[in-house]
Every structure is written in C-alpha cells, then in structure tokens.
C-alpha cells in the first residue's frame, strides 16, 4: 500500500494521512493509492503539513508498517529514548523498527 506522511507545520510532529485528516499514529494510515502527490500538495497549501511524501507500507498483524526503517523510526520515535517514543511504556518498542 501507499501511505502519506510528513511533519506538522507548526509543531514539527510526524504525522500520517488518515483519510479525513492527519494522525500521529502510523496505524491510522490509509492507502492513498495514486492520489498521494495531489493530497500532499493540497495539504501543504492548507498549512497542515510540511515535507509531505508518499511511502510504501504493508499491513501486518501489528498494523501498518512502513517499508523502510527510516520511516519506521519516524513512526515510533528515537529508539534510544523509549520515553520519548509513542510507546513510552514499552522498553522493547525499538525492536519494531528493525
């Protein structure tokens, strides 16, 4: 599947296109098919996102998983600071990115 990601213009937070808006959870991502580039331009123009781009992902038992490790780290947070990730109570959360 193709999913759309970028950073919130104001906060810089990593965000994922969830169909009707942006989410901070990669698991909320929806398949944007071939509409990703158009969506990115429209959302950037609306000042809701910066640096938006389309990536490949798969749906696994654990949910949506970006194909590349860089985007999995974006989805989770820094693996060396579990307390600053989206799963602060899961000390092994970093294993998900590998």
Partner 1 sequence: MYRYDSYDQSIVDARVEEFRDQTQRRLAGQLTEDQFKPLRLMNGLYLQLHAYMLRVAIPYGTLSGRQMRKLGEIAAKYDRGYGHFTTRQNLQYNWIKLADAPDILAELATVEMHAIQTSGNCIRNISSDQYAGVSADEVADPRPWAELLRQWSTFHPEFTYLPRKFKIAVIASEDDRSAMRLHDIGLKLVSRDGRTGAEVYAGGGMGRTPMVAPLIRDFVPEDEIVSYLEACLRVYNRYGRRDNKYKARIKILVHELGVEEYKRQVEEEFAHMRTLGLNPPTEELDRIRAYFAGPAYETGLEDSIDRSDPAFALWVDRQVAAHKQPGYAIVNISLKPRGGIPGDASAEQIALVAELAEQYSLDELRVTHAQNLVLPHVKMADLHAIWQKLDEAGLAEANLDLITDIIACPGLDYCSLANARSIPLAQKLSERFAAADRQKELGELKVKISGCINACGHHHAGHIGVLGVDRKGVENFQLSLGGSGAEDASVGQITGPGFSEDGVVDAIEKVTNLYLEQREEGERFLDTYRRLGMKPFKEAIYG
Residue ranges in contact with partner 1 by CB under 8 A:
7, 9-14, 44, 47, 50-51, 67-70, 73-74, 77-81, 84, 94
For residues 6, 8, 13, 18, the Cα torsion angle rounded to the nearest 10 degrees is -60
How near is the Cβ of 61 to partner 1 at its closest, in Å? Answer: 20
Q: Which tokens is 85 given?
A: 């990730």
C-beta closer to partner 1: residue 19 or 83 = 83
How near is the Cβ of 16 to partner 1 at its closest, in Å? Answer: 13
C-beta closer to partner 1: residue 42 or 84 = 84
Those residues with Cβ within 8 angstroms of residue 57's Cβ, 6 or more apart along the chain or in another chain: 1, 2, 3, 26, 29, 64, 65, 66, 67, 71
């Amino acid at each position: 599947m193709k999913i759309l990601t970028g950073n919130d213009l104001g906060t810089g937070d990593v965000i994922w296109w969830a169909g009707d808006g942006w989410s901070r959870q990669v698991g909320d991502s929806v398949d944007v098919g071939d509409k990703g580039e158009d969506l990115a331009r429209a959302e950037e123009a609306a000042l809701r996102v910066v640096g938006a781009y389309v990536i490949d992902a798969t749906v696994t038992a654990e949910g949506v998983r970006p194909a590349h490790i860089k985007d999995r780290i974006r989805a989770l947070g820094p693996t060396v600071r579990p307390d600053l990730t989206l799963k602060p109570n899961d000390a092994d959360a970093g294993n998900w990115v590998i």
